[in-house]
């Protein structure tokens, strides 16, 4: 037998050692992994792993959200485009409609032989009558030369023997054949017709802006809206408040060269027709004197308005202001007439004339000045006297009637120059 060699026994002895060593390593790694998983660092690694696993889901959700937002943005964009297109079309429709209306109005005026500028009156026509057929039919019976004298009244003035009756009495005596009353209630209409003048019934609500202005101012503020259809139909209007005594036919004294002719609140030629007013500011030295143009206001209770485009623009501006502002109609009226174009104002651009203050007379001129100049007082024969400066209107109206119609030369003496 061959002798056993030492090196032939070594492999069988090494295997258990290697196995034990490997098992120890594996066990150590397992323990290390276990400890690491319980440590903060290990937990962070686990979280990172979980995050990596969740990241595709998060990205997918973000993509979904972005796609949704993109669809919404496209929808809003398309909606905005449609709205813009609609607005453009609406504006085009408005412009086309306005152009058609202007063409229609131009053809109406051309057919009537009218000039198309802003200051030439147009004539009544069958086409224009459609604006207000009832009023058009009424005016055809009343107007002379397409002109009417108009008063506006309600029951406050229409009682028998009252102010409106004296107004009508004086108008009839003066021979005015084209006078009428716009009656704001049925009682007024009946009283006017019973007296023998034509009355046109209108129902108009007092604007909220004028409800606290007092009954007479509130009614006065309606006049601008009332007059507009008269002009549109082709009629010029001499508007008269009812605190006026008519002594002669006023249409004989109208000049008719302007859009508006008005009674002035001035009491001299300077205050009525205008003057150069110089302000003195000594602190300015060489430039101490500054000039201004002054004129006392047109009275909104007596004026002649021609049916022109400029006059309609004036009425539209006055209507808007008295119906939207708590303002006195006469102040608004004059601002609309006289204030120029500026960054704060659009001027309707009417041509204007102040009436002759001795033919169309206010009560300040009569009671404070004219009657004290005896020689001149005898020479002057007014066509209309407006008792606008004095609160005792009716009594002074009766005195004016007594003096000029009944010949009672002392009838005015009982009244002071002003009011007490």
Q: Look at 402 and 160; give whichever has higher pLDDT.
A: 402
pLDDT category at 82 given cuts 50, 70, 90 is confident
3-state secondary structure of 40: helix
Query: What confidence score (pLDDT) does residue 104 get?
Result: 52
pLDDT category at 23 given cuts 50, 70, 90 is low
pLDDT category at 1 given cuts 50, 70, 90 is very low
pLDDT at 206 over 80: no
Query: What confidence score (pLDDT) does residue 31 get?
Result: 53
Instruction: Please write the tens of the pLDDT for every residue from 163-180.
Output: 999 999 999 999 999 999
Query: What confidence score (pLDDT) does residue 221 get?
Result: 73
pLDDT at 196 over 50: yes
Q: Is-contact 221 123, C-beta < 8 A?
A: no
Query: What confidence score (pLDDT) does residue 256 get?
Result: 97
Q: What are phi and psi of 298, to 5 degrees?
A: -75, 140
pLDDT at 407 over 90: yes
Distances (CA, A) of 182 to 140, 201, 239: 15, 6, 11
Task: Compute the distance between CA of residue 219 and CA of residue 152 in angstroms, rounded to an integer.
Answer: 8
The pLDDT mean for the chain works out to 85
pLDDT category at 16 given cuts 50, 70, 90 is low
The full length of the chain comes to: 420
**Domains and their CATH numbers in the chain:** 126-360 (3.90.550)
Q: Is-contact 347 259, C-beta < 8 A?
A: no
Query: What confidence score (pLDDT) does residue 27 get?
Result: 61
pLDDT category at 29 given cuts 50, 70, 90 is low
Among 64-78, 129-143, 202-216, which stretch is predicted with the lowest mean pLDDT?
202-216
pLDDT at 2 over 70: no
pLDDT, mean of residues 347-374: 97
Task: Compute the distance between CA of residue 138 and CA of residue 178 in angstroms, rounded to an integer.
Answer: 11
Which residue intervals of 380-415 are DSSP H helices? 393-404
Distances (CA, A) of 329 to 39, 175, 208, 320: 91, 30, 14, 11
CA dihedral of 401, 405, 408, 411, whole degrees rounded to 10: 20
Task: Compute the distance between CA of residue 339 and CA of residue 350 in angstroms, rounded to an integer.
Answer: 11
Instruction: Please write the tens of the pLDDT for every residue from 36-62.
Output: 555 555 555 555 555 556 667 777 888
Q: Look at 19 and 154; give whichever has higher pLDDT.
A: 154
Task: Compute the distance between CA of residue 220 and CA of residue 243 in angstroms, rounded to an integer.
Answer: 12
Q: Is-contact 210 221, C-beta < 8 A?
A: yes
CA dihedral of 271, 293, 339, 335, whole degrees rounded to 10: -20
Structure tokens given for 18: 């290697």
pLDDT at 6 over 80: no
Q: Is-contact 216 192, C-beta < 8 A?
A: no
pLDDT, mean of residues 10-24: 56
Q: Is-contact 224 305, C-beta < 8 A?
A: no
Instruction: Give me the numbers of helices (H) and strands (E) for the chain, helices first please.
Output: 14, 12
Q: How many CA atoms lie within 13 A of 349 on its CB side?
A: 9
Query: What confidence score (pLDDT) does residue 122 get?
Result: 94
Residue 314: closest CA among 196, 216, 224: 224
Percentage of the residues of the chain whose pLDDT score is greater than 90? 64
Task: Compute the distance between CA of residue 226 and CA of residue 152 in angstroms, rounded to an integer.
Answer: 9
Among 21-35, 77-91, 396-410, which stretch is predicted with the lowest mean pLDDT?
21-35
Instruction: Please write the tens of the pLDDT for every residue from 299-309.
Output: 999 999 999 99
Task: Compute the distance between CA of residue 162 and CA of residue 185 in angstroms, rounded to an integer.
Answer: 16
Whole-prediction pTM value? Answer: 0.71
Structure tokens given for 213: 């202005």
Instruction: Please write the tens of the pLDDT for every residue from 261-273.
Output: 999 999 999 999 9
Task: Compute the distance between CA of residue 240 and CA of residue 227 in angstroms, rounded to an integer.
Answer: 12
Determine how β-strand 352-354 pairs with β-strand 179-183: unpaired
Query: What confidence score (pLDDT) does residue 7 get?
Result: 44
Distances (CA, A) of 65 to 62, 69, 74: 5, 6, 14
Query: What confidence score (pLDDT) does residue 273 get?
Result: 98
């Amino acid at each position: 037998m061959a002798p056993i060699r030492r090196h032939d026994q070594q492999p069988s002895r090494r295997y258990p050692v290697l196995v034990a060593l490997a098992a120890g390593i594996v066990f150590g790694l397992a323990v290390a992994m276990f400890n690491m998983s319980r440590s903060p660092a290990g937990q962070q690694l686990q979280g990172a792993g979980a995050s990596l696993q969740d990241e595709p889901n998060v990205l997918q959700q973000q993509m979904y959200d972005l796609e949704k937002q993109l669809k919404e943005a496209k929808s809003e964009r398309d909606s905005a485009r449609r709205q813009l297109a609609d607005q453009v079309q609406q504006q085009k429709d408005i412009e086309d409609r306005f152009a058609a209306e202007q063409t229609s109005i131009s053809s109406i005026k051309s057919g009537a032989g009218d000039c198309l500028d802003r200051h030439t009156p147009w004539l009544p026509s069958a086409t224009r009558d459609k604006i207000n057929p009832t009023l058009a039919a009424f005016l055809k019976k009343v107007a002379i030369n397409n002109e009417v004298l108009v008063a506006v009244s309600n029951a406050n003035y229409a009682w028998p023997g009252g102010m409106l009756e004296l107004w009508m009495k004086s108008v009839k005596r003066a021979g005015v054949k084209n006078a009428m009353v716009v009656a704001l209630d049925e009682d007024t209409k009946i009283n006017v017709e019973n007296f023998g003048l034509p009355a046109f019934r209108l129902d108009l609500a007092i604007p909220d802006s004028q409800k606290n202005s007092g009954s007479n101012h509130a009614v006065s503020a309606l006049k601008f809206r009332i007059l507009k259809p008269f002009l549109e139909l082709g009629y010029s209007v001499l508007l008269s408040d009812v605190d006026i005594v008519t002594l002669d036919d006023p249409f004989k004294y109208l000049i008719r060269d302007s859009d508006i002719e008005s009674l002035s609140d001035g009491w001299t030629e300077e205050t009525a027709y205008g003057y150069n007013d110089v302000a003195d500011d000594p602190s300015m030295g060489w430039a101490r004197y500054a000039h201004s143009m002054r004129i006392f206001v047109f009275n909104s209770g007596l004026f002649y308005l021609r049916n022109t485009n400029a006059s309609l623009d004036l009425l539209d501006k006055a209507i808007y202001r008295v119906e939207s502002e708590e303002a006195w109609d006469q102040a608004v009226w004059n601002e609309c007439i006289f204030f120029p174009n500026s960054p704060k104002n659009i001027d309707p651009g009417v041509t204007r004339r102040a009436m002759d203050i001795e033919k169309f007379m206010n009560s300040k001129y009569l009671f404070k000045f004219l009657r004290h100049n005896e020689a001149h007082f005898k020479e002057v024969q007014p066509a209309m006297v407006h008792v606008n400066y004095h609160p005792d209107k009716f009594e002074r109206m009766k005195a004016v009637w007594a003096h000029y119609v009944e010949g009672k030369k002392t009838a005015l003496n009982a009244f002071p120059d002003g009011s007490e």
